Amino acid sequence: MSSTALDTAALKQQFPLLQREINGTRLVYLDSANTSQKPAVVIDTMTNFLRNSYAPINRSAYQLAAEATDAYEGARTKVQQFINARRAHEVVFTKNATEALNLVAHSWGRANLQAGDVVVLTHMEHHANIVPWHMLVAERGIVLRWVPLTADGQLDLTTLAQLLDGAKVFSFTAMSNVLGTITPVQQLCAAAHAAGALAIVDGCQYVPHNVTDVQAWGADFMAFSSHKMCGPSGVGVLYGREALLEAMPPFLGGGNMIADVRLDGFTTAELPAKFEAGTPPITEVVGLGAAVDFLIGLGMANVRQHEIEVAGYALRTLTSRFGDDITLHGPTDTSVRGATFSLAFRGIHPHDLSQVLDQTNVCVRAGHHCAKPLMRLMGVAATARASFYLYNDTDDVDALADALDGASAIFGF
Amino acid sequence: MAGLEDLYREIILDHHRNPRNRGELPPPAPHAVGHNPLCGDEIEVYLQVEDGRVTDIKVGGQGCSISQSSASMMSQAIKGKPVADVQALVRRFKGMMSIPDADGNEIEPDPEVKLGDLEALQGVVKYPVRIKCAILGWNTLLEALEQV
């Protein structure tokens, strides 16, 4: 059943892959926190671009190359508006969000962090917002501090001021990919700034599902990926405040990122080319632009409202059907969570659970979700994760619940 | 639920619910830990080898039904066997899992080596992702044997 905010029956029709049947039954795709499916408009835009307009960008004078450059830069403007960045050149295209976070840690971090400097992270970070900082611990001797979690999987902010005291960076997720928790981004950015630290936001799980406004947040940097928001894989975004990006050394060196190269050195190009060395994923960026248009057409407030309704239905349905036999990690209040659920069910190992669910085409992820420190804190090696998106509805929640019943039958409960 | 009977055979579920030879052996018992980094499954193998014979084995760790039951059945199958027979059994089991030998060649089944209950794991081959689960304990066993 659809929600009040989105007509999912019509929406599903726009996603060719969701029309696929396996063994005569429909696909119940509940792995969008991993990667999302693509609407026809994104697929068609990319195909049309490849068929009609594909050419190098920023380096040739002929009309076709100008068209391709316009399409590429047009996508940048769409992304700028989508996240409400002040300037288009504050949007840097990367390979993925992981590269975007590495760019900040590598380029800004190496230019600004010395031994003993403090970087504050949280216990709910994804590996992409942990390992780049660990690398600076090894290389520079920086010190990491961690914001702990409350029992219901929210950030425990009681000691935030002490943790941020003297810190240079506070880098945190806007929404946990494991717990579904939405963090108070604006408050966290303000706390970072009050302590004199930069605020870096991992927006991977948030941007596809919510209205994003980097200026209202006060974020200094923000990273997210195209493939989780109906766009293609192969392209991510780093938003950075102009003054910060201007002052940073380049990340990768090569073509496109230079103004001049001599035998004795080089000068960098202006933003954003300075951070886009080599031929970028041109078609993918154009596809991301189409995804942004698609999402704007739906309205991100509607997407968020829809997911609140689906998350609420999932919480009610799974709890009423399975009671104490199911554990749903993370907050139960839908105002502070998205529609991503890590679950434990009757002691059945997540691998076994996902294998059985697959028999009825219910696709969930089993594993550590690239967040091993959090999994250790939760006392589990792995969870099964069902994540809902704009094309999922209450029927999909029911299909998950029915599949869980099937798992009970096999494992003898 | 159609299709999964081959994977979740009753004997596999039995070993999953009641794993055999659980526990550990004190140092200096040969000991190895195997991880599947993809899913976090973990197996620990402790051995007691006397006069070229595996006189005791204990298995620890945690993971899915396939990794745990495979390790449990393995422990039953090798306890009391000469190391050479254990090596042959590992080779036979890997062959059943369609894992090639060190040179990349298919392992021909040796009719002299009996799999017994382990044949119940044959159904895993149809689920390539799960082969890593089934083989984890066996690779960990090989690592522990190297310390003997």
> Does A204 participate in catalysis according to the annotation?
no
Going by pLDDT thresholds of 50, 70 and 90, the confidence category of residue A413 is low
pLDDT at site A168: 98
ipTM at complex level: 0.83
Residue among A238, A236, A191 nearest A218 (CA): A191
pLDDT at position A60 over 80: yes
Domain borders along chain A are: 8-30+299-410, 43-297
Question: Per the CB < 8 Å rule, is B39 touching A367?
Answer: yes
CB < 8 Å to B42, chain A: 381
Say how far apart CA A225 and CA A237 lie, in whole Å.
Answer: 6
> What is the percent of chain A where pLDDT is above 70?
100
Mean pLDDT of A13-35: 96
Question: A410 to chain B nearest CA, in Å?
Answer: 8
Buried b (16+ CB within 10 A) or exposed e, B99-117: beeeeeeebeeeeeeebeb
Q: Go through the domains of chain B in sequence order and give each one's CATH number.
A: 10-146 (3.90.1010.10)
CB < 8 Å to B127, chain A: 355
How many interchain CB pairs under 8 A, A with B? 54
pLDDT at site B56: 97
Going by pLDDT thresholds of 50, 70 and 90, the confidence category of residue B101 is confident
Question: B14 to chain A nearest CA, in Å?
Answer: 10
The one catalytic residue in A189, A230, A363, A370 is: A370
Read out DSSP for B77-117? HHTT-BHHHHHHHHHHHHHHTT---TTSPPPPP-TTS--GG
**Architecture (CATH level 2) of domain A8-30+299-410:** Alpha-Beta Complex (3.90)
Question: Per the CB < 8 Å rule, is A352 touching B62?
Answer: no
pLDDT at position A301 over 80: yes
Going by pLDDT thresholds of 50, 70 and 90, the confidence category of residue B94 is very high
Among A293-302, A365-374, B30-39, name the most confident range. A293-302
According to DSSP, residue A250 is labeled P
Question: B112 to chain A nearest CA, in Å?
Answer: 33
CB < 8 Å to A382, chain B: 39-41
Angle at A391 between CA A387 and CA A395, to 5 degrees: 80
- Summary mean pLDDT of chain B: 92
B142 at interface of A, judged by CB pairs closer than 8 A: no
Mean pLDDT of A260-279: 95
> What is the percent of chain A where pLDDT is above 90?
92
B102 at interface of A, judged by CB pairs closer than 8 A: no
B66 at interface of A, judged by CB pairs closer than 8 A: yes
- One fold for A8-30+299-410 and A43-297: no
Question: Per the CB < 8 Å rule, is A352 touching B65?
Answer: yes
pLDDT at site B37: 77
Contact A228, A73 (CB under 8 A): no
Question: B38 to chain A nearest CA, in Å?
Answer: 7
Q: What is the pLDDT of residues B20-64, one digit of tens each?
A: 999 999 999 999 999 987 777 899 999 999 999 999 999 999 999
Q: What is the pLDDT of residues A139-194, one digit of tens each?
A: 999 999 999 999 999 999 999 999 999 999 999 999 999 999 999 999 999 999 99
As given in the structure block, the two tokens for residue A2 are 């659809």
Question: Per the CB < 8 Å rule, is B39 touching A366?
Answer: yes
Least CB-CB distance to B65: which of A349, A360, A375?
A: A349
Among A335-339, A347-351, A373-377, B7-11, name the most confident range. A335-339
pLDDT at site B1: 46
Angle at A282 between CA A281 and CA A286, to 5 degrees: 115
Question: Which comes out higher in pLDDT, residue A61 or A18?
Answer: A18
B4 at interface of A, judged by CB pairs closer than 8 A: yes
Question: Per the CB < 8 Å rule, is B39 touching A382?
Answer: yes
Q: Which fold has domain A43-297?
A: Aspartate Aminotransferase; domain 2 (3.40.640)
Question: Per the CB < 8 Å rule, is B1 touching A367?
Answer: no
